[in-house]
Amino acid sequence: MLLTRTIPFDPTRAATAHQRTVPMDILRTEDELLVRLDLPGADADSIDLEVERDVLTVNARRPARQEGAAPVLTERPTGPFTRRLRLGRDLDTDNIGADYTDGVLTLRLPVAEKAKPRKILLDQGGATL
């Protein structure tokens, strides 16, 4: 398995309107996993990526609302956000790439060479074992 999700909260608890989540998509190509996380409004300098053993942690912060303005409706949470992904052994964690454009953090997790599909050559000519 290449990637498993970890749930950093009690799944039996009902989600609240103020729960800080980071929506993501994960796509698989032949050579890599693409992980796209929505972080609109987060400053690129606030994004911190860390791999420890088999867990990739993404931390980010959306700044507080404008000072001096009284909120009328607040559906966009502010403050720190965290998302953790448990990485499988078949990923090359030494070569993870990251890009932050238009509020979307894109992570490129290369598939290790040993985990990529490969052809096996067939010997012919009656070789005996």
Query: How many Cα atoms are found within 13 Å in the side-chain-facing hemisphere of 98?
Result: 16
CA 7, 10, 15, 16 torsion: positive or negative? negative
Residue with tokens 């103020």: 18
pTM exceeds 0.75:
no
- Rounded distance between C-alpha atoms, residue 73 and residue 59, angstroms: 26
Strand partners, 110: 32
Q: What confidence score (pLDDT) does residue 1 get?
A: 53
pLDDT in tens, 51-108: 998 899 999 998 887 788 888 888 888 889 899 999 888 899 999 999 999 999 999 9
Mean pLDDT of the chain: 81
Instruction: Domains for the chain: give ranges and CATH numbers.
Output: 3-9+24-65+78-114 (2.60.40.790)
Alpha-carbon Rg for the chain, nearest whole angstrom, is 20
